[in-house]
Amino acid sequence: MKVSEVRKKYLEFCKKNNHVIVPSDSLIPSNDSTTLFTGSGMQPQIPFLLGEEHPKGKRIANSQKCIRVEDIDEVGDNRHTTFFEMLGNWSFGDYFKKEQLTWIFEFLVDEIKLDPEKIYVTCFIGDKSNDIPQDFESAEIWKELFKEKGIDAKIVELGTEAQGYKKGMNDGRIFYYGAQKNWWSRSGRPDQMPVGELGGPDSEIFYDFGTKHDTSFGMHCHPNCDCGRFMELGNSVFMEYIKNEKGLFELLPQKNVDFGGGLERLAAASNDDPDMYNVDALKNIIENIEKISKVDSKEKVFKCRVIADHMRGAVHMISDGVEPSNKEQGYVLRRLLRRAIFYATQIGFEHGDISKLVPPVINYYEKAYPSIKEKEEKIISEVKEEEDKFQKTLEHGLKKLEKMLKEDGEISGKDAFILFTTYGFPIEMTLEVVKDKGLKVDEKMYNIEFEKHRELSRTASAGKFKGGLADSSEQTTALHTCTHLMLAGLRKELGDEVHQVGSNITAQRTRFDFTYSKKVERDVLDRVEEYVNDAIKNSAKVCLNKMSKEEAKKSGVEGSFWEKYPDTVNVYTVEDKKGNVYSQELCGGPHLDDLSVIKDKKFKILKEKSSSSGVRRIKAVLN
């Protein structure tokens, strides 16, 4: 089956089961500073999982564009990609485990014709330390579903991956794992979750390709083994818990379902082929690469795969507004493009050839995502410009490499890392140059330095996560509302040229970036402070109104990232009893209902500085 066929069948199946099909959100998350990219279909649904009413009802479904770069170094094997689509369906307090598991099993077996004998599932074993019970209900539902297909599904308790490698399958079909594998929240296991974070037990579905187990991964195979025999197809999360201020898990007012299934993985399973790079969405790009390539090498297949993956991701990122830079999303885009360009030169691409891969990607995806075609010229232009810049970077890197060789007669692992971080010179190219000279690079030392760098990046990322508006505690929510008021105050003082660029809000502080070309003087900041505190002193109320995006624009509602919002939007208005409107802005929430709950607190702007060209940054607190 083609990827487009699987997507169409899934959305039609969900529609038949009374789901409203909604468009994919942008790859750049709206009002969510927890992550650089949309990495799952559930990210845009957080307000509705918390209980806010979705404009389209209690049942929705879509195919969500996603970017994940945690495993970028694994790209090129049979299953890792940076860009992918996540099929998703959600129940906001409507149906629950019985309906969800029955429907997804029906879709897999009856709609895309997977052999039920090749399907294996996992359930949550429970977490006694956090008083979260074992999910017996899901296991029993699965047992009955398999029974209807003539399969006697044995239940096996494994708990951990280590136990899986030790015990093996034991003729099981339904497997219990712990929180490491069968609990879902954006921040990981229950003990890792911040206050206000949502989570719940989940049930994963695996497809057995029947390949021989590789004992280098462990003594015995099991569904979560990494040897390649099993591939996870999807995950039904039963989002029913929230971590309260005491660190305890309490049930949400509504029980939610959040299903996510990898579109390309489902297509691979439907074709009974474990290699995702053989699905048409990627094979089509690889075929175009091979037409342009002039060089054959033993590494050509791997390089073609990396180029195909990275160019597909880059095209979608640029289409959604990302531009190459040295920061955040732009840095990721630049890394993908430069890695693709480097590998392309290795297989005979000439300068300018890499942009020829843009039209095949656009032609494949324009039916599902029409806006990508409208951006074709811009995407090609960005790719060409980045290739020109990278050419100069490579020239500088080569000069530095030659200088290092002349001075030291070798390239140490540390030197190779400096070439990568300072000059943007990929390790792959360093290895090629040094090999031609009959020398070697200490790759072990390079990898040590790289791991240190990656760990620092992960720490920064984790800090960003914990500090983002993922935490819906009262203090963080209060600062979020105050941030809206601050923007309104800044616009009042500085003019309508001021708009939000980004924010990062924790329980301790708000960090806010906005468009403005020069330093904001302290007396202006004091007046903005006073504006926010006046709303607090007057116990202003926060009202939510739903309206069409066009109506919101026409009525002068403030908002950034308009293109990322759905046709029906949430407008939050902060107004006091006398009818004074302090703020009216587009947002995904959450907010305080009433500022009287923070009437004993004061909002204070601590510092203001430049963030980047034409962008200023404010740090403020509420004490």
pLDDT per residue as tens digits for the range 221-243: 999 998 989 999 999 999 999 99
pLDDT per residue as tens digits for the range 420-434: 877 777 777 788 778
Burial per residue of 53-92, b for 16 or more beta-carbon CB atoms within 10 angstroms, e otherwise:
ebbbebbbbbbbbbbbbeebeebbeebbbbbbbbbbbbbb
> How are beta strands 183-184 and 198-208 bridged, if at all?
antiparallel
Mean pLDDT calculated for residue range 14-23: 95
pLDDT tier for residue 471 given thresholds of 50, 70 and 90: low
Max Cα distance, the chain (Å): 81
For residue 466, what pLDDT is reported? 33
- Among 306-310, 496-500, 504-508, the minimum mean pLDDT is found in 504-508
pLDDT tier for residue 465 given thresholds of 50, 70 and 90: very low
For residue 32, what pLDDT is reported? 58
Q: What percent of the chain has pLDDT over 70?
A: 94
For residue 462, what pLDDT is reported? 42
Mean pLDDT calculated for residue range 457-472: 45
What value does the mean pLDDT of the chain take? 88
Q: Which residues contact 201 (CB under 8 A, 6 or more apart)?
A: 123, 124, 132, 135, 138, 182, 183, 184, 237, 238
Mean pLDDT calculated for residue range 288-314: 92
Q: Which of 46, 81, 50 lies closest to 66, judged by CA?
A: 81
> CA 349 to CA 418: how far, in whole Å?
27
Q: Which domains can be identified in the chain, with CATH numbers? A: 3-278 (3.30.930.10), 291-466 (no CATH), 474-622 (3.30.980.10)
pLDDT of 589 > 80? The answer is no
Kindly report whether the global pTM for this prediction surpasses the value 0.75: no
One-letter-per-residue 3-state SS of 401-440: HHHHHHHHCCECHHHHHHHHHHHCCCHHHHHHHHHHCCCC
- Residue 445 tokens read as 């030392």
> What are the backbone dihedrals phi and psi of residue 545, each rounded to the nearest 5 degrees, phi first?
-125, 135
- Residue 284 tokens read as 């089509």
For residue 546, what pLDDT is reported? 83
For residue 98, what pLDDT is reported? 97
Residue 224 CB-half CA count within 13 A: 23
Q: What percent of the chain has pLDDT over 90?
A: 58
pLDDT tier for residue 102 given thresholds of 50, 70 and 90: very high
For residue 555, what pLDDT is reported? 80
Q: Which of 243, 329, 342 lies closest to 501, judged by CA?
A: 329
> CA 246 to CA 402: how far, in whole Å?
59
- 3-state secondary structure (DSSP) of residue 112: coil
Going 533 to 537 to 538 to 544, the CA torsion angle's sign is: positive
Residue 517 CB-half CA count within 13 A: 3
Helix (H) or strand (E) holding 515: strand 510-515
